[in-house]
Structure 1
Amino acid sequence: MKIITVEEHFESELITQKINQVTGKGALPPLSSGMLEYMKTSLPTAEMMQSITGTRLDFMDQNGIAMQVLSYGNSSPQNLAPEIAIDLCKEANDKLAKEIQKQPDRFAAFAVLPVGDPTAAAQELKRAVEQLNFKGALLKGNYQGQFFDDPFFFPIFKMASDLDVPIYMHPSFIPSEINDHYFKSPNWSDTVNGILSSAGYGWHMDVGIQVIRMIVSGIFDKLPNLKLISGHWGEMVPMFLERLDDELDDYSGLKESFSTYYRNNVYLTPSGMLFEPQLKFILDEMGPEHLLYSIDYPYKHPANSQTFLTEGNLPAQTKELIAHGNAERLLHL
């Protein structure tokens, strides 16, 4: 079975060096002590992040993965000041495009965009799609505390709609005051605090709210062709679709129910959370046509990366849609 995974990450040593030179501290916001402790043991090696040969290709071959769709990981210039980010995002996309040219049958990419200047970001998305053959863009977290439903960012989504490419809404680190309020306690260690506020729960909650806000903002009434991708089985939002309809629909002012927009305009991936109960639930809520496959390599590399699909108790047509058919259609592969 052909497998395409669509949330797989890459970093450039050169781009990372340039980010460090500009900021003096890298691309990440100030992190809690717990998060720093957690990251010491959870981050992949530089070789795994920066190379598209070697360990990465070995993993793909061992797990029957025909193609990875790459995007920048933690070391991303997206949220730098626009006067820096515009040129650096362009350079980052060019660097990733050159890497992909080494193995064009095995890799594709989502662009990184200088979101602090949405007009420039829209133009960079257009360039990346039309000149570099990128398949959309990945937006990580938010920008200076602004969620992407803010009208300020509308040019980015208008361009994605016009180009008929998706935007992947990816988690990032939550603000320290939210981290402390929800996840810090004298009853557990800093490392547990770091896990709860990030991969354990916190950043899934945060980016799930991001997608909720996009829908409630009415952007899909303005841009009915816009498509979003949400990882980690939808970042908990699908569990509340019927609840959101019941509570919101009489007051939102939207043309359709909340769940209609979600089921029509949002596509989900597992992001390496390869667990049977979530798969069954998402298939019931969304149907097989809106589910793509992803591993979140190299942050995650589950032992069942291949067998979760190939040995799963699903109809053959459903397996093919999730494994590659939906990605080929959505990303024009």
Structure 2
Amino acid sequence: MKVITVEEHFESPKITAAINQLNGKSALPNVSPDMLHYMQASLPSPEEMQDVSKQRIAFMDQYGIDMQILSYGNSSPENLNPKISVDLSRQANDELAQVVATNPNRFGALAVLPVGDPQAAATELKRAVNELGFNGVLLKSHYQDRFFDDPFYFPIFKMASELDVPVYFHPSFIAPAVTKHYFESAEWSDVVTGIFSSAGYGWHMDVGIQVMRMVISGIFDKLPNLKLVSGHWGELVPMFLARLDDELTAYSGLKHPFSYYYRKNVYLTPSGILSKPQLNFALAEMGPEHLIYSIDYPYKQPTNSKTYLENTDLSAEQLELFAHQNAEKIFHLK
């Protein structure tokens, strides 16, 4: 069985060096010194993030992964000032295109965009798809505490719709005020607060809200062809589709209930959360055509990456959709 994973990360040494020169090596938002120490100890090394020929290929071969779609990890120019990010995003996409060109049968790519200048971002997305052969775009869940349902960003999504490429929403650090209100306590350490507010729960709540805001904004009535991809089994949202329909339908001004757009325009991936109950729930809520496999490599390197697919409750046809066919269709993989 062919296997494609679509949320797999890469960092360019040249782009990382440029970002570090601008921001400093420890310039991460909302991160305490204790949390920074934890991250440095637990996150993949720069060598793992930058590698595309040795350890990464060995992992793919060991776990039967035929292709990864690569996107920039934490070291991304997306959230920099547009005066810098426009040129640096272009350079980053050129760097990633060179990686794909070295092994086009094993890699695809998602563009990074200078979202602080939406017109420039739309132009760069068009270049990345039409000239570099990219398969979509990955966006972090907000820019300067501003969610992407804001009309300011509409040119990016209009271009994605016109190009018929998906927008993958990825978690990012949340606002300090949100961390303080929901996740901080004198009863536990800054490291627990940091994990709780990020990969433990906060990131997922935040990017799930981003996707919900996209639906509620009415963007899918304007751009019915727009496709969003949401990792971590939908970032908590699918559990509440019935509730959202009951509470929002009468007041949202949308042409259809919330779940209509979510099931039609959103695609879910596991992002390395390889749980059979969550897969079965997502299948029941979304249908087999809206599930796509992902590992979140190298942040996550599950040892059941292969056996997970071999032991699902999916039918043979559903498994083929999940493992590769949906990715091939949505990301236009040859």
TM over 0.5: yes
CA displacement at 1:125 relative to structure 2? 0.2
Match of 1:332 in 2: 332
Match of 2:19 in 1: 19
Superposed, which structure 2 residues align to 1:165-204 within 5 Å? 165-204=165-204
SS at match of 1:70: strand
CA displacement at 1:34 relative to structure 2? 5.0
Superposed, which structure 2 residues align to 1:1-333 within 5 Å? 1-25=1-25, 28-333=28-333
Determine if contact 1:26/1:75 at 8 Å carries over to the other structure.
no
Measured in 2, the distance between the counterparts of 1:189 and 1:157 equals: 40
> How big is each residue's C-alpha offset from its partner over 1:157-186, in whole Å with a ceiling of 9 and x where there is no partner?
000000000000000011122112111112
Measured in 2, the distance between the counterparts of 1:19 and 1:313 equals: 44
CA displacement at 1:24 relative to structure 2? 3.1
SS at match of 2:143: coil
CA displacement at 1:33 relative to structure 2? 4.0
Determine if contact 1:27/1:80 at 8 Å carries over to the other structure.
no
Measured in 2, the distance between the counterparts of 1:51 and 1:305 equals: 19
Measured in 2, the distance between the counterparts of 1:168 and 1:212 equals: 14
Amino acid at match of 2:112: V
CA displacement at 1:307 relative to structure 2? 1.0
Determine if contact 2:78/2:114 at 8 Å carries over to the other structure.
yes
CA displacement at 1:27 relative to structure 2? 6.1
SS at match of 2:224: coil
Measured in 1, the distance between the counterparts of 2:317 and 2:37 equals: 44
Measured in 2, the distance between the counterparts of 1:254 and 1:312 equals: 36
Measured in 2, the distance between the counterparts of 1:14 and 1:188 equals: 38
SS at match of 1:312: coil
Measured in 2, the distance between the counterparts of 1:203 and 1:35 equals: 15
Measured in 1, the distance between the counterparts of 2:161 and 2:52 equals: 30
Determine if contact 2:280/2:313 at 8 Å carries over to the other structure.
no
Measured in 2, the distance between the counterparts of 1:42 and 1:110 equals: 25
> How big is each residue's C-alpha offset from its partner over 1:274-304, in whole Å with a ceiling of 9 and x where there is no partner?
0111111100100110000000000001011
CA displacement at 1:26 relative to structure 2? 6.0
Determine if contact 1:205/1:236 at 8 Å carries over to the other structure.
yes
SS at match of 1:28: coil
SS at match of 2:272: coil
Amino acid at match of 1:121: A
CA displacement at 1:25 relative to structure 2? 4.5
Determine if contact 2:234/2:269 at 8 Å carries over to the other structure.
yes
TM-score normalized by structure 1? 0.98
CA displacement at 1:219 relative to structure 2? 0.3
Amino acid at match of 2:44: P
> How big is each residue's C-alpha offset from its partner over 1:91-134, in whole Å with a ceiling of 9 and x where there is no partner?
00000100111111000000000000000000000000000000
Amino acid at match of 2:130: E
Determine if contact 1:38/1:195 at 8 Å carries over to the other structure.
no
Moved more, 275-284 or 41-50: 41-50
Measured in 2, the distance between the counterparts of 1:37 and 1:24 equals: 15
SS at match of 1:168: strand
Amino acid at match of 1:123: T
Measured in 2, the distance between the counterparts of 1:319 and 1:27 equals: 42
Count of residue correspondences: 333
Amino acid at match of 1:54: K
CA displacement at 1:15 relative to structure 2? 0.3
Unaligned 5+ segments in structure 2 are none
Q: Percent identity?
A: 67
Determine if contact 1:32/1:176 at 8 Å carries over to the other structure.
no
CA displacement at 1:37 relative to structure 2? 3.8
Determine if contact 1:233/1:268 at 8 Å carries over to the other structure.
yes
Amino acid at match of 1:224: P
Measured in 2, the distance between the counterparts of 1:332 and 1:17 equals: 32
Q: CA RMSD in A?
A: 1.1
Determine if contact 2:30/2:173 at 8 Å carries over to the other structure.
no
Determine if contact 1:36/1:194 at 8 Å carries over to the other structure.
no
